[in-house]
Amino acid sequence: MVAAGISSFVLAGVLTASMQLMRSGVRLAQYSEMDSQLRSAFEQLGVDLKAASAFTFNSATDITVTVAKSDGTTAQYTYAWNSSTKIFYRVPGASSASTSGRLQLASGVSALAFSRFDTSGNSASTDNATKRVKISLTATRSASGAARTTTTDANTYTLRNKPVS
């Protein structure tokens, strides 16, 4: 009888440890997937911002850049965040409402804000004065039976090819 009681306590401990390991594994997988998406999104945004010859601040969650292409022409790309779908995306053209060619950069983005700065690091009030762009975002992942995984990240990019006036 005593052995059965001790065995049940040991079994309960093993099951609890097993569940905790499983939940940790799920959280680690969520974080890994989220981190990979955000790194790729920041990389794509950085490439376009560093190459941008023109910049338009549409709103705190929507910007458009004009990038020179290798054939001498230019292309516009709009980066935007949809708060209802929680998706950060890039779309060709000057309108974030367009769905043609839309590329989802990150999902589960619960907050996003673009900020613009002049050459001195002060907040810029016009597109012509903008020389640096900062993006701040928060992404979240959750699965049933596992705690929510959240990360907040911010990057600042210098518009190297954009003249300021």
Q: Give a yes or no: residue 164 inside a domain.
A: no
Q: Give a yes or no: residue 15 inside a domain.
A: yes
Domain count for the chain, please give it.
Answer: 1
Domain span including residue 57: 2-158
Q: Give a yes or no: residue 165 inside a domain.
A: no
Q: Give a yes or no: residue 87 inside a domain.
A: yes
Q: Give a yes or no: residue 21 inside a domain.
A: yes
Q: What is the pTM of this model?
A: 0.81
pLDDT tens figures, 6-64: 878 777 777 777 776 666 666 666 667 778 888 999 999 999 999 999 999 999 999 99
Q: How far apart are the first and last CA of the chain?
A: 86
Region of 43 (left: φ > 0; alpha: ψ -120 to 50; beta: rest) is: alpha
146 pLDDT tier (thresholds 50, 70, 90)? low
**51 contacts: CB under 8 Å, gap ≥ 6:** 67, 68, 160, 161
